[in-house]
Structure 1
Amino acid sequence: MSYRPYQQILRRKSRQIRVGRVRVGGDAPISVQTMTNTPTEDVQATIAQIRRCEEAGADIVRVSVPTPESTAALRQIVRAVEVPIVADIHFHYRRAIEAAEAGAACLRINPGNIGSKERVREVVKAARDHGCSIRIGVNAGSLERHLLEKYGEPNPEALVESALWHAAHLQEEDFHEFKISVKASDVFLAVAAYQQLAEACDHPLHIGITEAGGRRTGTVKSAIGLGSLLWAGIGDTLRVSLSAEPEEEVRVGWELLKSLGLRHRGVRIVSCPSCARQGFDVIGTVAALEERLAHIEQPITLSIIGCVVNGPGEALMTDLGVTGGGAGTHMVYRAGRTDHTVKGEAMVEHIVALVEAKAAEMAAAQAAAAAAGARKQAAE
């Protein structure tokens, strides 16, 4: 977190659960989730997609298991990937039991369409027996009939009542390893529901704007909705729901967290929108760098500014920076100070090399610190 008071976000206090090895809630970092879109029965395609999501930074991945064949495939999938897998269950409670037996770390159920209280009890037993957590997934599009009759339409009160009603069912079974979501595609409805739920309980919350749309429109809607919640300290894990590849959901989720200083991973590029003063092609340079530096995991800030109006000032606040100059020669900054110049035609390759060297230096320092900590712990 920043030391500047105006950049502080006070997170809501929530209970902590585990989704496999990932802690959710409490003081744990806000985790980033996505969901596969390959047929789960296609084991190799699903594993390949999950691995791409892992490379993009996914902490948790959800997989749909609507058939006995898909839960059979899940057994192979969970053993081939690093991230914890959430089994997405709708309608067929037996799929939840099978998924727990197959090694799922969490069961996502919508109790409104899972069936009777007795069936929910069986799902809870399977979760307990196999060390699974549960996500209660309430959705504005599948609210219980009695709540629709009571409220006339999906509204924040209906979503919250549904969530707490189902949470009470789990608590009656003395099961507390669960998180809750109250999603809607309407930003106003989703945000209001999460705000009310955050005040009504201390359960960890999975936040998201469901069915947000395509890459551009969905990113904007998610930034508005999730950004509002995160800024208010609400949210313990999130998914950005886009009609796009799941890796893109992960990248957008990370950018949201990085923009608010809630988590730091990879290169954060500060770049100008470009104008007639630019000394090089800012748009093309940034696009190339985003692609070339996508593999970097260490948190590094990089400023790419087309001219000297704001370039030196932005470079003061970034690890590395470039400011456009005249005659095709541009200034490179390290830790806010002028360091050397680079020609335009060599700039992208040069910046990539600088960032990769900085990342390697940081990784080595982290490894050394971890080794020193291990030696100290062994000595004690």
Structure 2
Amino acid sequence: MLKNKKILVCVTGGIAVYKAVALTSKLAQAGADVKVIMSESATRFVNPLSFQVMSRNDVYLDTFDEKDPSVVAHIDLADWADLVIVAPATANVIGKLANGIADDMVTTTLLAATSEVWIAPAMNVHMYGHPAVGRNIGRLHEDGFRFIEPSEGFLACGYVGKGRLEEPERIVELVEARFREEGQQDLPQILEGKKVIVTAGPTRERIDPVRYVSNFSSGKMGYAMAEAAAALGAETVLVTGPVELEVPVGVRAVRVESAQDMLEAVLAEFDSADAVIKAAAVADYRPKTVHAGKMKKQEGDSLIELERTADILKTLGRRKNHQCLIGFAAETDRVEEYARGKLERKNLDYIIANDVTDPAGGFGSETNVVTLFGRDGTAVPFPAMDKKALAMKLLERIFGGARDDR
């Protein structure tokens, strides 16, 4: 989402400067082109070389140090940026900016900026609550600046309260969401007015309070499908098993654990849905007996008797009336044969099949290689690509009739 986006990070003098180093690193890792301006006081906390290494760009310190004689540096940087982030933003720089003061490289660049400017304050809790700081923040709000609210916690000064710079990971999430929204403005809203249910991740079938039966599904493909559905205008409900993923922007998540939990959650939304995309890797079997206490280790082998879990796709196939039902088939061999069989047996409209032994499309990978099979006998292969890009192409093919899929 941040690939080739130009982000200017303005760093001012506070103990949270070390977090700005991490922010610069994470933005660069996400694909952004990052440039950094530091105030003189910021250099007292962190050496500019740290930012140079993390951004792989020169660090700007002095308005009068023109690195390129063909341009005026602070104007060139202001024109260059797609987004400016001031982090950490001290009470001092907030006050200067609110009153139009430009007396160093940071503030002269900020006054010349035409792109969005985000301000991430970091200061003592009482400074943050001071009426003067509040007035300055209010004035900047009125001028169109966006603030990333500080979090609460233990502050460097020893106080506990609001004033900690927001965590770099969270700031990156907000930046990604901002550019995602910008990118979605040009997407055809082919699912506008539709409700789409997406299932994702594994299920866990308990053996006892500390053990369970599960599988290696990461949930990445399902989450990508949910994100794409929301981007195309759908009211999107994500029924998710236990995974370590952030819920996409604009998606309502329902968290479940077992196959039975997932079935009940999907059925609760099913009648009002227009489509169901079942990308979850649901456990086919569960322990017949769930022990109330932890099973103790004994001499010799132990057997766990299993029973079938509910077949969610088959249940939905029997109940559907107007819904478009889309399944996934993760296979290790005879992919087309098994996928087409599942398509017919479970009364699906489409099935998306992949060979999980393929390094470019197995569990946990960032890419996938699939073939889309339809009830009309069609088979459309998609080469290895990022799961988010693939999800978008699949939905455009299914719901928009796109033919330039590959």
Q: TM-score, normalised by structure 2?
A: 0.29
Larger helix fraction of residues:
1
Larger gyration radius, structure 1 or structure 2: 2
- Flag the structure with more relative contact order, 1 or 2, with Cα contacts below 8 A and sequence separation at least 6: 1
Q: TM-score, normalised by structure 1?
A: 0.31
